[in-house]
Amino acid sequence: MTNQSKPKYYLTTPIYYVNDRPHIGHAYTTLACDFLARFKRLDGYDVCFLTGTDEHGQKVEKAAHDAGVSPQDFTDSVSQNFRDLTDSLNFSNDDFIRTTESRHKVACQTLWDLLRERGHLTLGSYSGWYATRDEAFYSETELVDGKAPTGAPVEWVEEPSYFFNLSQWQDRLLAFYEANPDFVGPDSRFNEVKSFVAGGLRDLSVSRASFKWGVSVPNDDDHVMYVWLDALTNYITATGWPADGSFGDVEKYARLWPADLHMVGKDILRFHAVYWPAFLMAADLPLPKRVFAHGWWTNEGQKISKSLGNAIDPLELAEQYGLDQMRYFLMREVPFGKDGDYSAQAIIHRINGDLANDLGNLSQRVLSMVFKNFDGKMPAFPDQPTTEDRVLVAAADALLPAVREKMDRQAFHEALRLIWQVIADANRYVDTAAPWVLKKTDPARMAEVLAVLAEIIRQVAILIQALMPASAEKMLDQLGVATDKRSFAQIGGAKRLAKGHIIAKPEPIFPRYIGEGAV
Ligand code: MSP
């Protein structure tokens, strides 16, 4: 199939502030998107997966100032750290956008002009509270003990500002939510968004006049755009919008926009589910199909914060435990959408249990027996499968649609739970069938049992490529599955390994973790 004839899937991570080094929270959002992007590619979609860096605004300007370098030099170097992370963590993003790029400035200014031409922007003056850490405006009534509701310090700001007429969009937003019940996930978060909007919206200050590090407002050099208007626009910039602009790409924009999914953390849902759709409606542009808000990680029970200095470095985790092991843990341990706690004990438990014992041993045991007893050639799949054979194979054959349904709802932990259920079934089957005993008592049956098990391993390995690409590749190499036979089109009955199919010498793929903290 050519890319043009495949269905498209466009998904985005938030773009990361370059005021800080990447930590586990950043890696988490991008990993979730990577898992989904790879899954969709294997499932026959033409995927565009976008990530990048959010480089303007007061927060970044201040970080550059504190580091004693110009904002441009500062953002160049920190943005590079985020770009490097995508390679180190094996993220498969198709593009990496920086808001300081010209293509992005053009898109921001075009969006601004559309909003202004349609009468949605007015020049006024802002006086109120601003939290640089959140890059957000707060009213007096929102403050809690003199701080933002997020705990961020606030300062009083009084300056000329353009306002977007957000208050006019309440009814249209509510009608849109009503008509699009899947627009925000999880449901509990969607309810929060709806009540926020139902409670009434105030016009939004969308420009700043007291500093310069931003995209300038067209025809008014005294103002730079509010960093969130600038940042949100990245999602449409990357599609080649505006199609008639200097960086435009008519075909790409038409194919990619609207986005299928914006993945965000719960702290920035309001910007994506309220402000962004309002800006797009006001500019007469199509709205994204879905926004999903995931939860936050704590570290051994404590909130992760700069002042506590307890940020978890994803590169160190990958180094210590293995990259695919870390990727598995982050997606499996916590129901996606809920908050979760990182602990060394929890990751070791997952590595030694789910990976080393359940999947690693299964694959190693089965492939070693095939390798040793059948000269590295697959025995035939049973002509007349027993009930046990049928039940196990049927469970594996039924996985893809069930897993797909979970992935489409971003229930990543559930998708993995379903796969590991089949792995558990296979482990029970191998214990009951005891092929090492059959070797002496009924070698023909032993051959059938191993063929059934190899089929389960093949299907599982194909499915887990999306999350653990390197390990799954090793498993499929050992099974001798050709590289063009690894997509989801290969799952199910018609594609089983034929008798005589040659496998490679098996090597353990998921070693037990026996380092520091192991019990
Ligand atoms: N620049 C804005 C996003 C603009 S999108 C148009 C921003 N950047 S951020 O770098 O502060 O945060 C990016 C993402 O990291 C958010 O989705 C946030 O939820 C996530 N996380 C930051 N700390 C986190 C944890 N401790 N746990 C999980 N995710 C966390 O916001």
Task: Tell me how long the chain is.
Answer: 519
For residue 306, pLDDT over 80 is answered with no
For the chain, the average pLDDT equals: 95
3 band by pLDDT with thresholds 50, 70 and 90: low
Q: How far is the CA of 366 from the centre of ligand 1 (A)?
A: 43
Closest-lying ligand 1 atom to the alpha carbon of residue 19: 10
Percent of the chain whose pLDDT exceeds 70? 99
Confidence at residue 2, expressed as pLDDT on a 0 to 100 scale: 56
Pocket test for ligand 1, best of 50, 232, 296 (most atoms within 8 A of CB): 296
Q: What percent of the chain has pLDDT over 90?
A: 92
pLDDT exceeds cutoff 90 at 327:
yes
Q: Which of 241, 260, 263, 261 is nearest to 252 (CA)?
A: 241
- pLDDT tier for residue 20 given thresholds of 50, 70 and 90: confident
What's the CA-to-centroid distance between 296 and ligand 1, angstroms? 9
Instruction: Tell me what pLDDT residue 19 has.
Output: 86
CA of 241 to the centre of ligand 1 (A): 25
Instruction: Quote the ligand 1 centre to 460 CA distance (angstroms).
Output: 32
- pTM of this prediction exceeds 0.85: yes
Show the CA angle centred on residue 304, arms to residues 302 and 138, nearest 5°.
115
The answer to whether residue 1 scores a pLDDT higher than 60 is: no
Best substitution site from 12, 15, 16, 189 to test ligand 1's pocket, by max atoms within 8 Å of Cβ? 16
Confidence of residue 485 (pLDDT cuts 50, 70, 90): very high
Report residue 516's pLDDT band, with 50, 70 and 90 as the boundaries: confident
Instruction: Tell which atom from ligand 1 comes closest to the C-alpha of 234.
Output: 6
The pLDDT confidence band at residue 305, using thresholds 50, 70 and 90, is: confident
Name the region of 106 (left: φ>0; alpha: ψ -120 to 50; beta: rest).
Answer: alpha
Mean pLDDT of 223-237: 98
Average pLDDT over residues 355-377: 97
Position 328 scores a pLDDT of 98
Q: Which of 41, 52, 162 is nearest to 101 (CA)?
A: 52
Give the residue from 496, 484, 466, 498 showing the smallest Cα distance to 36. 466
pLDDT at position 410 over 60:
yes
Distance between CA atoms of 220 and 228, rounded to whole angstroms?
Answer: 19
Q: Is the pLDDT of residue 519 over 70?
A: no
Give 125: exposed, middle or buried? Use CB within 10 Å, 0-12, 13-18, 19+. Answer: exposed
Tell me what the mean pLDDT of segment 282-300 comes to.
Answer: 97
Indicate which residue's Cα is closest to atom 21 of ligand 1. 25
Higher pLDDT, 307 or 311: 311
pLDDT band (50, 70, 90) for residue 307: confident
- 290 has a pLDDT exceeding 80: yes
Residue 175, exposed/middle/buried by CB under 10 A (0-12, 13-18, 19+)? exposed
| Cβ atoms 84, 66 nearer than 8 A | no
Domains (ranges, CATH) in the chain?
Answer: 344-490 (1.10.730.10)
Out of 59, 264, 266, give the residue to mutate to test ligand 1, the one with the largest number of ligand atoms within 8 Å of its CB. Answer: 264
Query: What residues does ligand 1 touch, defined as CB less than 6 Å away?
Result: 14-17, 25-26, 28-29, 54, 231-232, 264-265, 267-268, 296-297, 304
Those residues with Cβ within 8 angstroms of residue 451's Cβ, 6 or more apart along the chain or in another chain = 378, 379, 380, 381, 382, 497, 499
Distance 23 CA to ligand 1 centre (A): 10
pLDDT at 4 over 90: no
Pocket test for ligand 1, best of 31, 225, 268, 276 (most atoms within 8 A of CB): 268
Model confidence at 214, pLDDT cuts 50, 70, 90, reads very high
Average pLDDT over residues 420-424: 98
* Closest residue CA from atom 18 of ligand 1: 265
503 confidence band (pLDDT: 50, 70, 90): very high
Three-state DSSP state, 225: strand
Atom index in ligand 1 nearest the CA of residue 303 equals 26
pLDDT of residue 454: 97
Q: What is the pLDDT of residues 118-160, one digit of tens each?
A: 999 999 999 999 999 999 999 899 999 999 999 999 999 999 9
pLDDT tens string 257-286: 999 999 999 999 999 999 999 999 999 999
The pLDDT assigned to 244 comes to 84
